[in-house]
Structure 1
Amino acid sequence: MRTHFTMPVAVHLFLVRGNEILLLRRYNTGYEDGNYSVPAGHLDGNEEVKTAAIREAREECGIEIAPSALSLVGVMHRRSTDERIDFFVAATSWQGEIVNAEPDKCDELVWADLDQLPDNVIPYVRQAIANYRRNKWFDSFGWELPAAPSPT
């Protein structure tokens, strides 16, 4: 029987307040620690993208988001150490106070000006935020081919 290719699928949540976006600094995770990302996580399987975003908002930020408050704003086909599909979802309203609900994985929450993101935002997340601002719905990231060898 033929085995089909599979890859991880994640959802990233843009919590937007005016011209600011909520960033979380990764800590003690083994991936991009010390750098900023947004609330995010893998889909658990048998889980719709918006449902996963709502779950991640609750788990990481302690807030509740209504499905109707979420907008799918982007998709990225990405390659780093492996190949991935990332969905990006935005919300401008939610219920509850945002808190660091996972201090074992995140050591800081900051509201960052969309025009002045910190230098240490994870590169593909920075690209996805730029895409969101330009209404660019799909992008590929990390697929740059190495330079061809020069002829001898």
Structure 2
Amino acid sequence: MTERFKMAVAVHLFLIRGSQVLLLRRYNTGFEDGNYSVVVGHLDGGEDVIAAAVREAKEEAGIDLRREDVRVVGVMHRKARDERVDFFVAADRWSGEIVNCEPDKCDELSWHDRERLPINTIPYIRQALGNFKAGIWFDIMGFQAE
């Protein structure tokens, strides 16, 4: 029997405060270091997308999210070095103070106006934030037209 294709699945968390989004600057990871992303993590298996977002919020930013405060706002099928499916979720309510819980992987957590993202925001994150604003729920990025 032929083994089926497998790919990584990640959940990206848009923490929203008014017109701003929380960005983190990647550091010492070997992927997009020095560029801005959002709280993100791979699904561990045996957990749903919302549970993964709640877990990552605690692990990376030290905050507690309630499941009912997290909403799925987009999905992207993308290809760069490898092929991935990314879920994008948003929350504008949480408890606790945001802190950098992973200084070995992130050298800055900061709020940025969603209309004026830093030039060094990772392109697919920029695209996903634009999709969120426009109400576009699904996107494909990085594939060549056949």
- In structure 1, the partner of 2:9 is 9
- In structure 1, the partner of 2:76 is 76
CA distance in 2, matches of 1:24, 1:17: 15
SS in 1 for 2:120: coil
- The 5 A counterparts of 1:3-152 are 3-145=3-145
Deviations 1:31-63 (A, max 9, x none): 000000000010001110000000100000000
CA distance in 1, matches of 2:28, 2:144: 29
Unpaired segments of 5 or more residues in structure 2? none
Tell me by how many angstroms 1:145 deviates: 4.4
Could you state the TM-score of these two structures normalised by the residue count of structure 1? 0.94
Tell me by how many angstroms 1:116 deviates: 0.4
Deviations 1:53-87 (A, max 9, x none): 00100000000000000010000000001100000
Tell me by how many angstroms 1:2 deviates: 2.0
Tell me by how many angstroms 1:144 deviates: 3.1
How many residues matched? Answer: 146
Larger radius of gyration: 1
State the identity %: 61
The structure 1 segments of at least 4 consecutive aligned residues displaced by more than 6 Å after TM superposition are none
SS in 2 for 1:64: coil
Q: Alpha carbon RMSD of aligned pairs, Å? A: 1.0
Deviations 1:111-143 (A, max 9, x none): 000110000000000000000000100000111
Could you state the TM-score of these two structures normalised by the residue count of structure 2? 0.98
